[in-house]
């Protein structure tokens, strides 16, 4: 028999029981669909987060409290929330090649205006906050360095805060209360959409001097962004920051640092490592359904061999060789798994695309849709490999049947 004859026979064998074939291949379809979704969504999430990190610019260095994270499980580091002080902030501004230092303090609060309330984030910082996060003000103005130094009780609010507290009224000049502290609204942030780090649409921004002392009652910072005057100066600046922080905190042993520094490259590497690990774990979970689907296909193929015992005997009596019978049943298994792999790739891509649309429509997240070519190729290869592995045993059993006994089989 030629390849074409064997393939035609396999197609006829699969087509005899269409419903059973469809149910048999369902496990493979689900597994490949899951793999496609995992790889596509994982790549999209990585691209989204990395894009936001890169938007900060390669000249920015990030100073955080606590010890350097030792791995993806310890991604947040060992926090020592009070290790970044006002002295550190002032001294950092005097380092060579420092263009600006932007400190942050933040907490979740409930704000109110008259009878309306809204729960969200309040962030205290300097005027440099608007440059670091590329924030624009659509109404009013942003607070400036004079507001910070004079501890002016002012606030710039996000679009959601405006809508919830003021509706269609003009919020400028009105006072909102945060922990019974009145803040005068001087500006509204232009709608930015949900980001990977901060949703500024639902945030209140205020001078750190007000948030620190009046609202939170603390004297330290949660984060700092130090901008270098050039990309080439970043490595040297990192060393200068380490030296200054250790001198300020009386640290002789680097292993006892109560702070850690990250550059744009460090953040991208950390995000990539974490997303790769999560994707790999989810990939393994999806692979379990492929294993179950493969076992199901082998079981159905064994049943098919038993049901078609007389057919096998008749084919052998008419001159079919063992290889002819072997390849016929093996091709049937490959048709089932290969077809399931292709359907799974299409369904996975469709679900990933719909997920990106849903996130944009309902969560206002510009989640990129990425068709994973490697995932598509991998899905088809895996599905065909499953057909080969789980189909060869029933095919061999069919090929080894004695033609005389097969014809007599009842």
- For the stretch 157-174, pLDDT in tens is 999 999 999 998 999 999
Give dist(CA 80, CA 258) in Å, integer: 7
Closest CA to 72 of 284, 275, 285: 275
The confidence score (pLDDT) of residue 13 equals 67
The confidence score (pLDDT) of residue 29 equals 86
Closest CA to 166 of 152, 147, 185: 185
| Max mean pLDDT range (1-10, 292-301, 311-320) | 292-301
The stretch 129-135 carries a mean pLDDT of 89
Specify the range with the lowest mean pLDDT, choosing from 201-210, 216-225, 244-253, 269-278: 269-278
Q: How many residues does the chain have?
A: 410
Note whether 186 and 155 are within 8 A (CB): yes
Tokens, residue 103: 């400190």
Query: Model pTM greater than 0.75?
Result: no
With 70 as the cut, is the pLDDT of residue 196 above it? no
Higher pLDDT, 52 or 82: 82
Specify the range with the lowest mean pLDDT, choosing from 66-75, 285-294, 377-386: 66-75
Specify the range with the lowest mean pLDDT, choosing from 26-30, 82-86, 292-296: 292-296
With 80 as the cut, is the pLDDT of residue 190 above it? yes
The whole-chain average pLDDT of the chain stands at 83
The confidence score (pLDDT) of residue 405 equals 61
With 90 as the cut, is the pLDDT of residue 275 above it? no
The confidence score (pLDDT) of residue 406 equals 55
With 90 as the cut, is the pLDDT of residue 34 above it? no
Helix pair angle (322-362, 373-399), 10° resolution: 150
The confidence score (pLDDT) of residue 143 equals 96
With 60 as the cut, is the pLDDT of residue 74 above it? no
Higher pLDDT, 114 or 12: 114
Give dist(CA 47, CA 272) in Å, integer: 9
With 90 as the cut, is the pLDDT of residue 123 above it? yes
Higher pLDDT, 365 or 253: 253
The stretch 361-387 carries a mean pLDDT of 82
With 90 as the cut, is the pLDDT of residue 28 above it? no
Give 197's pLDDT tier (boundaries 50, 70, 90): low
Cross-strand partners of 299 = none
Residue percentage of the chain with pLDDT more than 90: 37
Neighbour-count burial for 375-392, b at 16+ CB within 10 Å, e otherwise: bbebbbebbeebbeebbb
Sign of the dihedral through C-alpha 351, 356, 361, 362:
positive
Note whether 37 and 358 are within 8 A (CB): no
Higher pLDDT, 129 or 298: 129
Give 110's pLDDT tier (boundaries 50, 70, 90): very high
Note whether 172 and 118 are within 8 A (CB): no
With 90 as the cut, is the pLDDT of residue 373 above it? no
The stretch 364-370 carries a mean pLDDT of 80
The confidence score (pLDDT) of residue 41 equals 86
Residue percentage of the chain with pLDDT more than 70: 88
Q: Is 305 left (phi over 0), alpha (psi -120 to 50) or beta?
A: alpha
The stretch 36-61 carries a mean pLDDT of 79
Give dist(CA 163, CA 118) in Å, integer: 10
Higher pLDDT, 295 or 200: 200
The confidence score (pLDDT) of residue 59 equals 86
Specify the range with the lowest mean pLDDT, choosing from 117-131, 299-313, 332-346: 299-313
Give dist(CA 60, CA 56) in Å, integer: 7
With 80 as the cut, is the pLDDT of residue 267 above it? no
The confidence score (pLDDT) of residue 79 equals 46
The confidence score (pLDDT) of residue 402 equals 67
Number of Cβ atoms within 10 Å of the Cβ of 216? 19
The stretch 217-225 carries a mean pLDDT of 93
With 90 as the cut, is the pLDDT of residue 89 above it? yes
Note whether 371 and 36 are within 8 A (CB): no
Higher pLDDT, 163 or 49: 163
The confidence score (pLDDT) of residue 393 equals 77
């Amino acid at each position: 028999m030629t390849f074409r004859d064997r393939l035609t026979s396999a197609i006829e064998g699969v087509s005899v029981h269409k419903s059973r074939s469809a149910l048999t291949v369902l496990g493979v379809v689900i597994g490949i669909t899951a793999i496609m979704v995992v790889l596509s969504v994982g790549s999209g999430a990585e691209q989204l987060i990395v894009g936001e990190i890169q938007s900060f610019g390669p000249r920015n260095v990030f100073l955080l409290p606590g010890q350097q994270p030792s791995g993806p499980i310890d991604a947040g580091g060992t926090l020592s929330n009070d290790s970044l002080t006002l002295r550190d902030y002032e001294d950092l501004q005097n380092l060579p090649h420092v263009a600006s230092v932007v400190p942050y303090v933040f907490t979740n609060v409930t704000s109110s205006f008259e009878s309306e309330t809204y729960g969200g984030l309040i962030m205290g910082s300097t005027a440099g906050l608007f440059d670091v996060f590329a924030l624009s003000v659509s109404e009013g103005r942003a607070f400036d360095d004079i507001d910070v130094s004079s501890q002016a009780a002012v606030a710039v609010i996000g679009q959601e805060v405006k809508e919830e507290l003021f509706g269609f009224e003009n919020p400028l000049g009105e006072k909102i209360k945060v922990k019974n502290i009145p803040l005068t609204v001087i500006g509204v942030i232009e709608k930015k959409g949900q980001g990977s780090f901060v949703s500024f649409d639902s945030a209140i921004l205020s001078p750190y001097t007000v948030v620190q002392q009046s609202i939170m009652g603390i004297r330290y910072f949660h984060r700092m962004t130090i901008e270098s005057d050039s990309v080439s100066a970043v490595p040297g600046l990192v060393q200068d920051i380490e030296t200054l922080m250790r001198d300020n905190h009386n640290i002789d042993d680097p292993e006892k640092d109560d702070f850690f520094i990250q550059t744009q490259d460090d953040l991208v590497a950390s995000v990539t490592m974490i997303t790769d690990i999560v994707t790999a774990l989810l990939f393994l979970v999806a692979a379990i359904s492929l294993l179950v689907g493969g076992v199901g296909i082998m079981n159905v193929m064994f049943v098919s061999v038993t049901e078609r015992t007389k057919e096998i005997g008749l084919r052998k009596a008419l001159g079919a060789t063992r290889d002819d019978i072997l390849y016929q049943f093996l091709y049937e298994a490959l048709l089932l798994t290969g077809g399931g792999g292709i359907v799974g790739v299409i369904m996975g891509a469709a679900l990933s695309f719909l997920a990106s649309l849903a996130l944009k429509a309902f969560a206002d997240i510009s989640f990129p849709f990425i068709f994973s070519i490697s995932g598509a190729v991998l899905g088809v290869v895996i599905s065909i490999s499953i057909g080969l592995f789980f189909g060869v045993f029933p095919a061999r059993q069919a090929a080894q049947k004695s033609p005389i006994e097969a014809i007599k089989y009842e």
